[in-house]
Amino acid sequence: MITPRHTRLVRVDDLHAFRRAIARLVNTSDVVPSVPSVPTVVVPSRSAARQIAHIDIPHDAVTRDELYERFHARLSAPPRRLGSLEREVVAQGAARHAAAAIDDLPFRLRPGLIVEILRFYDHLRRQSQQVKRFEELIVHALGHDDVDDRAAQRMRQQTRFLASTFREYERRVAESGGLDEHALRDRLIAEAAIDPVRHVIVAVPDWIADPNGLFVADFDLLARIPGLARIDVVCTERILASGFHERLHNWLPGIEEIAASALDGFIAADAVKPVLVTPPGGAPDEPWWTLRDREEELVTFARRVLRPDVPPPGPARPELVEGRALRQFTALPPATPGSAISRPGERHAVVFKRPLPYLYIAAEVLPAAGLSFRTFDALPLAVEPGASAVDLALSAAAANFGRESLVALLRSPHFVFVTDGREVMRESMNALDRMLSDSRYLGELTKLESLLTDQDDGGARPALEAAIDAARELAPLIDAQPASHHVRRLLAFWESHLRPESHDDPLAGRERRARSAVRDALSALAGAHEAHDDPEWTIDELALAVRRTIEDHTFDVESSGDGVHLVDDQAARFGDFDDITIVGVVETDWPERPRRNIFYPPAILKSLGWPSEKDRRAAADANFLDLLGSSAQRTVISTFTLDDDALVSRSPQLDDIHRARLSTVAELPFDDAPVFFEEALWADSPAMERLDPAARTWAELRVSRSDPTVGAYHGHVPDWERSTDGVGTQTGWSVSALETYLDCPFKFFAQHVLKLEEEPDDEEVMDPRRQGQLVHEVFERFFAEWQNAGHRAITPENLDTARQLFAQVVDRALEALPEAEAGLERTRLLGSPAAAGLGEAVLRMEAERPTPVVERLLEHRLNGAFTIATATGPRTVTLRGKADRLDLLADGTFRLIDYKLGWPPNRTRALQLPIYSLCAEQRLASHRGRAWTLGEAAYLAFKGPKRVVPLFSAPAERDKVLAEAQQRVADTLDAIDRGEFPPTPDDVYRCETCTFASVCRKDYVGDV
């Protein structure tokens, strides 16, 4: 039975009338006088619903989805509604079923594709299309099967797959006993509710004019649902003219039309038109503000709202005057993020197309200017810290418990791990990190377990035990298992290790709600798979599904009840403001880009009822122009040029501003009164009274600290504790440490004075330090075996023997290494058909020299006091060092060799070869009963154009090179003694790979 109903279109001129018309319709909603009922107002979003919450007559503001929820709730004993996750899971099963029956499906069934399939199905059904009709229309549009067009054939195959998926989906939904939106619609039309909704006020257009609008099927439902007595569609003239008027008449034939002024009791306000506030000195044909980025937009907004030199529009409001008196900055109450701070901005709205990132930026910018704000949009759950902890557990399992991901899991502040009844502390985790790195652990539970020995582990044991326990709990996720098992296991791990909430934490409430939202989302995912489709998942599939589930959830953030309104453009239509600032009017956002259909081109979609781009653009322009005139007094429009450092273009809609016919007024130039906390802090006498206690403590510390021009600020530490250094001044610095000083004095300070540990680095191949150790060991072993075998010098005659022995030594040394790593090192040492290895360079170098070797000193230590010559005379210094190889030659000279894995050092800065040469001459003074002098010194370098790089190219150069190196050592030791450790790398690129960058004022590099 079709209920007689009154269906009206209420036409309004602008958004002022739009809001008053809605209020009036709610006020006069006695459709069946004897039956009390509350009118239902359909709005585009929750945020919009909150904007009309001020209407004091009871009403129910709902989104489209909530409208179905209300209808569903009024049926007697209805089947339950399937949630979006459940529907997705049903669709996954249906798609797999359909794909199994089709050969050569041209695409893979990824989770993202299932979402698109379901979205397409929903659109079809909301356009009142049935699956059979969809298939017929597409096949008809593509032509006959015998047409030899590969693209058309692919599309026909895709259509068969989609139609088959849709049918299977519908069968599975029916079988589940639940209802999706489409089945519910059929039921609502067939079955009368006991207490039906009597009056629906539709305050959204269709989905073509508003992405959250109603569809053909929704208007059809409203026209046919039993018990509904009145439908009022409220719409502005501009939106109607964009094409909605014609569509509405097609869907609701015979709809009555009235002007808002004809509504009972509607009071036409005085013609209200805001002025458009243009930037100071702006061009007349560009009445918008062009700012650098989104943050600058909000900064400028705050300055405008708070500027002291312009009276506020409208009647004087003493509290606003107080708030904008920034010179009274210190008189305002203390700032607490999200709390009411001051009254300015109460009647102001910042309007954006998309809430993010404006909501995040506003949380930084507005409170810093003493402005409170209120938000109405939900934030993504994925960015809540508690949700990110799920990701850590997934990453650890996906990386097979590799060091970095495992330690990151243990270190997460959201988790607590316990061994022997005590929480594992950070020191133990750091020790574990170092231990895993030293033992070359690259993942796998069994390898992790094998590290648990009785040996001294430097305090890593509690963390190691916790890591093993965690890995055992998560290890089953690595094997393929039913989806629901995986999700429940992950959830159980997350819940059992969550750190208990702290009652003192001001954010504990938010954290609790976020945790609850994560719990609900994962439980729903597991439940949906248990109920409908439980395929075997790998860890990658699990990670993808869990991340998508969390990313799809939003999270309501409690907002303060006053201050500036931060609203999206849909909600702004429903809000009543004196002053609106429309921000972010750039090409990528305004107009909103339609979501592209991935299955069919626009021409084919048109036959299914999809709108043309022209219709959509006309509606977007109409919405924009309506919005421009929606404030009571002032409108500002701003665009920006940089988005995440990428250039963006302004929106083409800015060129339509003149169509709104607003008068303009140029803003006066801003004065330089401080607006933000930091500006007050920059003053000669910083105002700290308004900072919260924690920030104030830090600010006072910063103010009281040393003058940035003094030396301490730039690495001058005259009183550094030399006595604490066991290897520094007493036993001498190692020559390689002095080279580090020459690389960068602050790096030396961090490494050798502060003794900070470098971050370990996991690589499939060896890091440079380990490579160096291996190379030294290999050469040391080779020459030891060479000498033990009775050989002395390597000559052209025994070169092949040397090569064979070297290859044997290399093979033995590489036995313990993983295959990939061993292959790389073998090539490095023994060479490849393309290039000779380092061994060949070493052997040849000796074979080509005529003077025989009488003794070889390998890894030869050079520690103690040495005399160096300096510009001020001879000087005794204590040094430590180890020469890679010293070959004593028959002519009383020696050859010094240094192996370099990378490029040979710059000879003007190098210390090791020249200083070792000098030290060796002094140490070998009576070795074998005679003196030894340096004959040759060379680097054997892995990288660079030459393998053998001599320290000096001619004997005449020798003395000069040695003299300069000695002076460098003297100068370096003096600088260390004076405590000069400035961040002055020899090359700024060194900072990019420096592991001490996080503790270094490298921003001063170049200043000192």
| Nearest residue (CB) to ligand SF4, 752 versus 885 | 752
373: amino acid identity, one letter: F
The helix or strand, by DSSP H or E, that contains position 660, with its residue range, turns out to be none
Residue 643 three-state SS:
strand
The nearest distance, CB 992 to ligand SF4, in angstroms, is 8
Tokens of 601: 């081109």
The nearest distance, CB 371 to ligand SF4, in angstroms, is 38
Main-chain phi, psi angles of 658, to 5 degrees? -60, -25
Contact residues for ligand SF4, defined by CB under 6 A:
744, 746-747, 750, 983, 985, 990-991, 994, 996-997, 1000, 1002, 1005
The nearest distance, CB 1000 to ligand SF4, in angstroms, is 3
Give the C-alpha separation, 1007 to 533, whole Å: 63
The nearest distance, CB 999 to ligand SF4, in angstroms, is 8
Residues 765 and 817: beta-carbon distance below 8 Å: no
790: left (phi over 0), alpha (psi -120 to 50) or beta: left
Give the C-alpha separation, 655 to 932, whole Å: 86
Chain centroid to Cα 336, Å, comes to: 26
| Nearest residue (CB) to ligand SF4, 611 versus 982 | 982
What is the full DSSP assignment across 800-855? HHHHHHHHHHHHHHHTTS-HHHHHHHHHHHHB-SSSB-HHHHHHHHHHH-SSPEEE
| Nearest residue (CB) to ligand SF4, 338 versus 715 | 715
| Nearest residue (CB) to ligand SF4, 737 versus 962 | 737
Residue 252: count of CB within 10 angstroms of its CB:
19
* Burial readout 932-962 (b: 16 or more C-beta within 10 A, e: otherwise): bebbbbbbbbbeeeebebebbeeeeebeebb
| Nearest residue (CB) to ligand SF4, 732 versus 985 | 985
Residues 54 and 574: beta-carbon distance below 8 Å: no
| Nearest residue (CB) to ligand SF4, 732 versus 745 | 745
| Nearest residue (CB) to ligand SF4, 106 versus 768 | 768
Beta strands in 353-420 (DSSP E): 373-375, 379-380, 418-419
Give the C-alpha separation, 329 to 344, whole Å: 13
Give the C-alpha separation, 238 to 569, whole Å: 16
| Nearest residue (CB) to ligand SF4, 87 versus 714 | 714
| Nearest residue (CB) to ligand SF4, 870 versus 995 | 995
The nearest distance, CB 1001 to ligand SF4, in angstroms, is 7
The nearest distance, CB 737 to ligand SF4, in angstroms, is 14
Give the C-alpha separation, 949 to 897, whole Å: 10
Give the C-alpha separation, 890 to 997, whole Å: 49
Burial class (CB in 10 A: 0-12, 13-18, 19+), 152: middle
The nearest distance, CB 206 to ligand SF4, in angstroms, is 58
Give the C-alpha separation, 282 to 665, whole Å: 10
The nearest distance, CB 985 to ligand SF4, in angstroms, is 4
The nearest distance, CB 1003 to ligand SF4, in angstroms, is 9
The nearest distance, CB 1006 to ligand SF4, in angstroms, is 10
Output the 3-class SS for 229-288. Answer: CEEEEEEEHHHHHHHHHHHHHHHCCCCEEEEHHHCCCCCCCCCCCCEEEECCCCCCCCCC
| Nearest residue (CB) to ligand SF4, 749 versus 779 | 749
What are the beta bridge partners of residue 878? 865
| Nearest residue (CB) to ligand SF4, 333 versus 902 | 902
What's the count of helices (H) and strands (E) in the chain, helices before strands?
Answer: 36, 30
| Nearest residue (CB) to ligand SF4, 838 versus 991 | 991
Residues 599 and 116: beta-carbon distance below 8 Å: yes
Which one-letter DSSP state was computed for residue 459?
Answer: T
| Nearest residue (CB) to ligand SF4, 191 versus 758 | 758
The nearest distance, CB 989 to ligand SF4, in angstroms, is 9
CA distances from 1 to 67, 226, 831 (A): 21, 7, 89
The nearest distance, CB 433 to ligand SF4, in angstroms, is 21
The nearest distance, CB 997 to ligand SF4, in angstroms, is 4
The nearest distance, CB 123 to ligand SF4, in angstroms, is 54
| Nearest residue (CB) to ligand SF4, 340 versus 1005 | 1005
The nearest distance, CB 1008 to ligand SF4, in angstroms, is 10
Residue 865 three-state SS:
strand
Tokens of 843: 């052997």
The nearest distance, CB 753 to ligand SF4, in angstroms, is 12
The helix or strand, by DSSP H or E, that contains position 7, with its residue range, turns out to be strand 6-12
The nearest distance, CB 747 to ligand SF4, in angstroms, is 4
| Nearest residue (CB) to ligand SF4, 858 versus 994 | 994
Main-chain phi, psi angles of 225, to 5 degrees? -65, 135
| Nearest residue (CB) to ligand SF4, 2 versus 989 | 989
CA distances from 989 to 530, 737, 757 (A): 55, 20, 21
What are the beta bridge partners of residue 579? 348, 634
Output the 3-class SS for 583-606. Answer: CCCECCCCCCCCCCCCCCCHHHHH
Burial class (CB in 10 A: 0-12, 13-18, 19+), 647: exposed
Residues 288 and 39: beta-carbon distance below 8 Å: no
**What is the number of alpha carbons within 13 Å of residue 239 lying toward its C-beta?**
27
| Nearest residue (CB) to ligand SF4, 209 versus 742 | 742
| Nearest residue (CB) to ligand SF4, 749 versus 866 | 749
> Taking Cα atoms as reference points, which of 565, 16, 635, 572 lies closest to residue 344?
565
- ∠ CA 352-358-361, nearest 5°, is 155
The nearest distance, CB 741 to ligand SF4, in angstroms, is 11
